[in-house]
Each structure stands twice: as structure tokens, then as C-alpha cells.
Amino acid sequence: MWICTRQVTWQPVESQKMWRGPLVFVVFGLVSLNSARVSVTPLDVVIIGVEAAVAAGAGYLMGVLTRFRPVTDETRRRMMARRRQPRGPVTTESRTGWTGLLLWFAVIAVRVGLGFLSHDLGLELASAFGTIFLAIGLNRAARALVITSRLNRQPVRVR
């Protein structure tokens, strides 16, 4: 629900914070998969690869779809009201919008579908809990990479 809300509402862009979540999700997913101690089959690798590609591809598209605007006084007041001090100067807000939310739902649908398929095929690694975190982390990392690239490349334009 948290990620869904962030897709459609304006959020301050904090470059350092943008990478924290994806890193935590990917590391947790990899550690979880490593500690699963299950046999790995080629089909496990294929399914995890497909899931990773879908998650990263959707994250890339989310980054491309992201709109930017300068931070408003209202945003600064909200940040102060929540006693949330950014680590650096925040000058930009972003949101992905409803299309980004639909892409997020597509990532979830693919994950659930591949999870059921993996379970039915008896693939222990591809149906392991850690693949969920890996997919979320890859999605968020691809999105962050595109957003960071866009912000470094051009000045913020209001759309």
C-alpha cells in the first residue's frame, strides 16, 4: 500500500534516500534466497530471470513516466510538520501517476503468477519468499536509476 500511495502523490526527491529501500530489499532477498538451502534447477533460474526482467523493466518505465515539479512552500510545511528533515537540499518533487501504479500492479501480478507456477512445478528456489523482495528491490532500483539519470541530465521541467 505504501508504494501504491507514493506512485500517485507528489514526493520530495531525495537522491540518497531513493537508493536505501532498493538496496535493503535486494540484500534481504539475496540473503533469504541464499539461506533457503534448496536445490537450484535451470527452470528456477529462468523463472527468477523472467521475474527480475519484468520487475526491472517496469521500474525503468516508471522512471521514464515520472513527472517532476519544483518543491512548493506547502511541501516544505508538510515536511516540517512531520519533523522530517531531508539530508540535503530538496528542490524537486516527483510522482509516477496512475500509469505507474498500473505498472506496479502488473509487477505484483507477474510475481504472484510465477509464484503459483513455480509452486505447481515444484521449484523451491523460484517459489521462495526471497524472490518477492528481490523483485521489489530490482523494480525500485531501476526506477531510481532512471530518475537520478534524468535529474542529473536536465533541469527540472514542470509537466
pTM for the full predicted model: 0.85
- Helix ranges (DSSP H) in the chain: 2-8, 15-35, 42-65, 73-81, 98-120, 130-153
Helix, coil or strand: residue 38? coil
Q: pLDDT 10s per residue in the chain (159 long)?
A: 777 787 788 888 887 788 999 999 999 999 998 887 888 899 999 999 999 999 999 999 999 999 998 887 877 777 777 666 655 677 888 999 999 999 999 999 999 999 999 999 999 999 888 999 999 999 999 999 999 999 888 655 545
